[in-house]
C-alpha cells in the first residue's frame, strides 16, 4: 500500500498562527512508536462505533473522516453502508497505522482495492477537494486545535465538503468527561503488548478560559522490551474543550444549521454530566461557493 496522498501540491509552510497539524511531530519520542502506542490505547475505544455506523446508514453515500487517526471508525462506516471513505489526518505516522489497519482487515482491504478508501495527509483547517460528501466527521479533533478561530476554520472546511443535504457530526468530550482538577503524574494503565509491556503515565494541568477549558496534557510512556531495555516516550499536547454553546455559535458562523445536540453516543440529551458533546449539523446555504 502506497504512502497516503498529500492534499495540495506540496508541504505547506506552517504559518506562525497555525499549530502543527501533526500532533506527533516535534515530540521528543519516535513518532512511529508513539503512533503504535496511540493505536494500542485508542483501539480499545469501541463504545461509539454503533453510533458512527448508524450515521453512515442515515447518510447514504461517501464519508469524509476528518482527523481519522489510525482509521478506527472505518469498519463501522463501511458496515453502515458508506460507498467511499476518505480519511484525512495531519499525522503521517497515524496514517501509516491506518494503512496497516486496512491491510489487516479483509473488508477494509477489499474496499481499498476497489478504490472505496482513500487516505490523505492534510490539515482539517485547510483541506479543499473537488468532491462532496454525504457525511463528514470530526471525532475528537477540535480539542487538538488552538481554539475558536481554528475550530471555525475546520467547521467551514467541513461545511464546504458536504453535499447540500449532507450531515456533519462533531464529537468532543462533554462537561462530565472533563477533568475536574489538575492531576499529578500518575500511572494511567499498564498493558502486555506482544513480548513488550507498556506503562503509561500522565499528568495534566487545566486552565479555565473565556473560550473554554484548556488542558496541558503530558504523557510518559515506557515500552519495556523482553530483554529489559526501555524505550521511554515523553509527549505533550495542548487541548481545548469548547462549551456546547460556543460550539453551536461557531457552527452558525460556519453557516451550518444545528439539527441535533447530544450528550452521549446513545443520543441522550446534553446536560452538565454528559460525557460527550455531539453536534449534528447541515449546511445552511447551498451552491454559493466555487472551489
Ligand X SMILES: C[S@@+](CC[C@H](N)C(=O)[O-])C[C@H]1O[C@@H](n2cnc3c(N)ncnc32)[C@H](O)[C@@H]1O
Tell me which residues touch ligand X (CB under 6 A). 21, 23, 42, 67-69, 72-73, 89-91, 94, 123-125, 139-141, 144
Q: Which is nearer to ligand X, 91 or 167 (CB)?
A: 91
Q: Which is nearer to ligand X, 145 or 224 (CB)?
A: 145
β-bridge mates for residue 202, sequence order = 186, 219
Q: Which is nearer to ligand X, 69 or 212 (CB)?
A: 69
Reference 37, options 238, 234, 237; nearest CA is 234
Reference 125, options 87, 147, 154, 148; nearest CA is 154
First vs last C-alpha separation in the chain: 30
Least CB distance to ligand X at residue 230 (A): 26
Q: Which is nearer to ligand X, 43 or 165 (CB)?
A: 43
Least CB distance to ligand X at residue 136 (A): 12
Least CB distance to ligand X at residue 110 (A): 22
Least CB distance to ligand X at residue 193 (A): 19
Least CB distance to ligand X at residue 195 (A): 26
Q: Which is nearer to ligand X, 99 or 224 (CB)?
A: 99
CA gap 205, 200 in Å, rounded: 17
Amino acid at each position: 500500500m502506497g504512502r497516503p496522498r498529500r492534499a495540495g501540491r506540496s508541504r505547506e509552510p506552517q504559518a506562525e498562527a497555525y499549530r502543527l497539524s501533526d500532533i506527533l511531530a516535534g515530540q521528543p519520542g519516535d513518532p512511529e512508536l508513539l503512533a503504535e502506542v496511540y493505536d494500542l490505547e485508542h483501539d480499545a475505544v469501541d463504545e461509539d462505533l454503533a453510533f458512527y455506523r448508524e450515521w453512515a446508514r442515515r447518510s447514504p453515500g461517501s464519508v469524509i473522516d476528518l482527523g481519522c487517526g489510525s482509521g478506527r471508525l472505518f469498519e463501522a462506516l463501511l458496515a453502515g453502508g458508506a460507498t467511499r471513505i476518505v480519511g484525512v489526518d495531519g499525522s503521517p505516522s497515524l496514517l501509516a497505522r491506518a494503512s496497516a489497519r486496512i491491510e489487516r482487515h479483509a473488508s477494509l482491504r477489499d474496499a481499498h482495492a476497489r478504490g472505496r478508501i482513500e487516505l490523505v495527509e492534510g490539515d482539517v483547517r485547510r483541506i479543499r477537494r473537488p468532491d462532496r460528501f454525504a457525511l463528514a466527521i470530526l471525532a475528537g479533533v477540535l480539542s487538538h486545535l488552538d481554539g475558536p478561530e481554528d475550530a471555525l476554520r475546520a467547521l467551514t472546511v467541513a461545511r464546504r465538503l458536504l453535499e447540500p443535504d449532507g450531515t456533519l457530526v462533531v464529537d468532543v468530550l462533554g462537561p462530565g468527561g472533563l477533568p475536574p482538577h489538575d492531576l499529578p503524574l500518575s500511572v494511567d494503565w499498564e498493558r502486555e503488548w506482544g513480548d513488550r509491556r507498556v506503562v503509561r503515565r500522565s499528568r495534566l494541568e487545566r486552565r479555565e478560559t473565556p473560550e473554554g477549558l484548556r488542558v496541558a496534557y503530558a504523557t510518559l510512556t515506557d515500552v519495556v522490551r523482553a530483554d529489559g531495555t526501555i524505550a521511554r516516550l515523553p509527549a505533550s499536547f495542548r487541548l481545548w474543550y469548547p462549551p456546547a454553546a460556543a460550539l453551536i455559535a461557531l457552527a452558525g458562523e460556519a453557516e451550518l444549521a444545528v439539527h441535533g445536540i447530544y450528550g452521549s453516543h446513545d443520543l441522550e440529551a446534553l446536560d452538565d454530566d454528559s460525557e460527550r458533546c455531539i453536534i449534528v449539523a447541515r449546511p445552511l446555504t447551498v451552491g454559493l461557493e466555487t472551489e
